[in-house]
Amino acid sequence: MRPKISVLLPTFNEAENIERCISGVIQIFKNIEYEIIVIDDNSPDGTWAIVEKMHESNSRVKIIRRMTEKGLSSAIVSGMSIAEGEYFLVMDADLQHDETVLPQMIQKLEEGCDVAVGTRYANGGSTGSWNLIRKLLSIAANKFTQFILPIRITDPMSGFFALKREIFFRTGDRINPRGFKILLEILGRAGNGIKIGEIPFHFKNRLHGETKINNSIARSFLITVLDLRFGKWISSTFLLYSLVGLSGVIVNLFGFVLFESIGVKDLATGFELLPIFPSSVFFGIELSIISNFILNNYFTFYENRYKRWDAIRGFLIFSGVSALGIFVQLGIFELLFYKALPRMGMEPRFELRLFCDLVAISVAMFTNYFLNSNFTWLNAAKGQQ
Ligand code: GDD
Ligand code: MN
């Protein structure tokens, strides 16, 4: 008989947790037609072997052992693609999600909700004893999502949820299975008409194994949100790049003001091309090159990043590319401040220098964008293969 409920358990190195987790679910659903699908990415600790063993005595416990694919969201998509139930239920296999609320989730779906979300942020829910940083990050990610996207639930980041099978098959082909935020993808793409129910639960502490959340996941979360909101118009990598660029402008101006206030003098060079060298503009640029490289390497182009000592090579290439930008910026500044302004009869005041530098920075940024995305970090990815 076709199962009513498909419970999807993504696992990576959960050998110490998986058996108890599955037994807990079986207890809860003993009177319902269910199937449990574990999607394991060939865990080195042999999680898959434990599930294969359980399958021998209970054929409702199934395993997908993925050999080449990796990642939580894509694991859930793999599971849902073969799930036979009317309702899909996703939960962590590390005992942090409370299986006793599963019947309430199913209840919500029976009552007409399309999606039921286990929430840590409504009355009756909690996050357990996370450290302060994790708590703040989680709250910030939540607020940011609610600000950018029209999703009005208290915990759009939750990894504990249930949905009707047609919701998955309606959105599945557009889901970008990156990172951890599968629920967000589904909700973001399902359209406004869907009905969402929330069930508070206490997020338990991990007893065995460790979390797989890391920097690249925080980054892919940001990309997911930006992509859902602006993806139609502009690539999210470009948006991250612009964010870094924007921070670079601030650093650049900060450096400029700093060195102006120290009283660094402009230099006469004797070159026809650049007769006067504005030193404080130059130091502002150098400071921003350093911060831009660090941020782009570990954020914008994380997947293509230069690793360890190779980062020095990357920095040199980035500096080389930026050198062109420096000349563009210096040239534009020179043109505006020393040629255009005097011709317009304006006094060389500080505010005008600031304005000229701002315009010069903007032009240089565009040249740099193009070269870095097409050369510097493509180069990194090739060099490390
Ligand atoms: N197949 C597969 N592949 N499973 C994975 C992978 C992967 O690459 N990475 C993690 N998992 C499994 C883990 O084995 C666990 O069962 C579940 O996914 C959750 O992973 P954790 O690493 O324990 O996540 P967490 O507890 O830090 O994060 C939880 O809270 C987040 C919000 O704060 C999860 O519920 C997330 O889904 C949720 O977004
Ligand atoms: Mn966990």
Of the listed ligands, the closest to the CA of 213 is 1
Residue type, 128: G
The answer to whether residues 344 and 201 belong to one domain is no
The answer to whether residues 250 and 211 belong to one domain is no
pLDDT of residue 381: 61
In a domain, 150, yes or no: yes
Nearest CA to ligand 1 atom 15: 92
Contact in structure between 196 and 113 (CB atoms under 8 Å)? yes
**In this structure, what CATH number is given to the domain that contains residue 190?**
3.90.550.10
Choose one of 163, 182, 216: the last residue of a domain: 216
The answer to whether residues 134 and 267 belong to one domain is no
Average of per-residue pLDDT across 150-179 = 86
Task: Say what angle helices 350-371 and 236-262 make with each other, to 10 degrees.
Answer: 140
Ligand 1 within 6 A of CB of 93: yes
Count how many domains the chain has. 2
The answer to whether residues 211 and 314 belong to one domain is no
Ligand 1 centre from 384 Cα, in Å?
28
pLDDT digits (tens, 9 = 90+) for 123-142: 767 777 777 877 888 788 88
Instruction: Report the distance separating Cα 295 and Cα 377, nearest Å.
Output: 13
The answer to whether residues 254 and 170 belong to one domain is no
In a domain, 148, yes or no: yes
The answer to whether residues 18 and 166 belong to one domain is yes
pLDDT of residue 385: 43
In a domain, 229, yes or no: no
In a domain, 230, yes or no: no
The answer to whether residues 185 and 311 belong to one domain is no
In a domain, 45, yes or no: yes
In a domain, 223, yes or no: no
Q: Average the pLDDT over each of 22-26, 106-110, 168-172, 364-368 and give the range with the smallest value.
A: 364-368
The answer to whether residues 183 and 260 belong to one domain is no
Ligand 1 within 6 A of CB of 145: no
In a domain, 154, yes or no: yes
Contact in structure between 109 and 186 (CB atoms under 8 Å)? no
- Maximum average pLDDT range among 82-91, 237-246, 262-271: 82-91
Ligand 1 centre from 187 Cα, in Å?
19
The answer to whether residues 282 and 208 belong to one domain is no
Enclosing domain of residue 369: 236-383
Counts of helices then strands in the chain (DSSP H, E): 14, 9
Contact in structure between 155 and 126 (CB atoms under 8 Å)? no
The answer to whether residues 322 and 285 belong to one domain is yes
